Amino acid sequence: MGYTVKYPAARISEAMDKTVSRLQEQGVLSRDTVFIVLMNGGSWFASHVFDRLAEPDNTVYFVKIHSYDGTASGTIHWDYLPEMDINARDVVVLDDICDTGKTDIALYQFLLRLQPHSVSFFTLLKRTTTSLPEEIKLYTCLVDDSSDFFVGCGLDDNGKGRLLPYVGVVNP
């Protein structure tokens, strides 16, 4: 099984720059901003965003939550959820893809109980079929209208392909 490049490395680099610009435009980059990284896929995206921040001196929490088992979306699973101090703070959630929106909705509802000042989601990729409630602020760099299964830039095929510098499509 191989991969076909859908979004080359140069386009991914532009997307990373665009993400940091959007973070700056939103005015949420301060020392008091809390970043929440969704593992495992969001780790790649977050590391590339953090590399571009002028002063990356923020609190970072890692959360492991997923709704996928192989290539099928299903029930939300909370694998790792640390105690988080986000009361009255701006929260930025970083993830690789907003696919069905299930994970983002579940995390958003959980975070609201911790009374943050604001919550924003930033992803590398979003499907056009994703439906989120209006109150969830989602900023994304690449929007895709296909049903392709992606790898690279944090996205994986059962653990493979995650570190590719491009977003590729799994070939049947």
What's the mean pLDDT in 133-159? 92
- Residue 146 CA: distances (Å) to CA of 4, 18, 99, 140: 14, 22, 11, 16
Report in angstroms the alpha-carbon separations of 42 from 45, 66, 87, 113, 121: 5, 11, 23, 23, 11
pLDDT of residue 148: 92
- What pLDDT digit, counting tens, does each position of 83-127 carry? 999 999 999 999 999 988 889 999 999 999 999 999 999 999 999
**pLDDT for residue 172:** 73
CA–CA distance, 149 with 22 (Å, rounded to integer): 27
**Measured CA distances, 170 to 69, 98, 125 (Å):** 16, 18, 16
Tens of pLDDT, residues 34-80: 999 999 899 999 999 999 987 767 899 999 987 766 556 678 889 98
Give the model's pLDDT for residue 114. Answer: 96
99 is catalytic: yes
In this prediction, residue 16 has a pLDDT band, given cuts at 50, 70 and 90, of: very high
Determine the pLDDT at residue 72: 60
Quote the CA–CA distance of 70 and 63 in Å, as a whole number. Answer: 19
Q: Pick the catalytic residue: 99, 104, 144, 156?
A: 99
More confident site: 172 or 144: 144
Domains of the chain with CATH codes: 11-148 (3.40.50.2020)
Residue type for position 96? D
Model pLDDT, residue 37: 97
Beta bridge mates, 35: 60, 92
- Compute how many other C-beta atoms are within 10 angstroms of the C-beta atom of residue 137: 16
